Chain A
Amino acid sequence: MAVGFLQRERIVARPGWSRWLIPPAALSIHLAIGQAYAWSVFKPPLEAGMDISGVASALPFTLGIIMLGLSAAVFGTKVDANGPRWAMFVASCCFVSGFLISAVGLFLDQYWLVVLGYGFVGGIGLGIGYISPVSTLIKWFPDRPGLSTGIAIMGFGGGALIASPLTQQLLGAYGATGENPSVPGIAQTFLTMGLIYAVFMSVGWLLIRVPADDWKPAGWDPSRVKSNAMISQNHVSAANAIKTPQFWLLWVVLTFNVTAGIGILERAAPIYRDFFPDATTPEALAAAAAGFVAILSLANAIGRILWSSTSDFLGRKNMYRIYLGVGALLYLALTLTTNANKVVFLVCAMVILSFYGAGFATVPAYLRDLFGTYQVGAIHGRLLTAWSTAGVLGPLIVNAIADAQIAAGVQGPGRYTTAFMIMIGLLVIAFVCNELIKPVNPRFHEPEGAAAAAEKKEAAA
Chain B
Amino acid sequence: MSTQSESAPRAINPVLAALAWLWVLIPFGYGLYQLLIKIPALFGT
Q: Give A contacts to B, CB under 8 Å.
A: 12, 14-18, 20-21, 24-25, 27-28, 31, 155, 158, 160-165, 200, 203, 207, 212, 279-280, 284, 287-288, 290-295, 297-298, 346
Contacts and interface: CB of A to CB of B under 8 A. Distances in A.
B9 A16 contact: yes
A17 B12 contact: yes
Interface in B22-45: 23-24, 27-28, 30-32, 34-36, 38-44
Contacts of A16: 9-12
B27 A290 contact: no
Contact of A284 (B8, B28, B39, B44): B44
A11 to B, nearest CB: 11
A165 B39 contact: no
Contact of A21 (B12, B35, B44): B12
Given A15-B9, A16-B12, A284 B20 contact: no
A158 B20 contact: no
Contact of A14 (B7, B28, B42): B7
A25 B20 contact: yes
A295 B30 CA distance: 16
A interface, over-half SS? helix
Contacts of A155: 24, 28
A28 B7 CA distance: 28
Given A161-B31, A294-B42, 15 more contacts: A15-B9, A16-B12, A18-B12, A24-B23, A24-B24, A28-B23, A155-B24, A165-B31, A287-B38, A291-B38, A294-B35, A294-B38, A295-B42, A298-B32, A346-B42
* Nearest 9 Cβ contacts at the A-B interface: A161-B31, A291-B42, A287-B41, A15-B9, A162-B31, A165-B34, A24-B20, A27-B24, A294-B38
A155 B24 CA distance: 9
B28 to A, nearest CB: 5
Contacts of B23: 24, 28, 200, 203
Contacts of B9: 14-16
B35 to A, nearest CB: 5
B4 A162 contact: no
Nearest to B37: A294
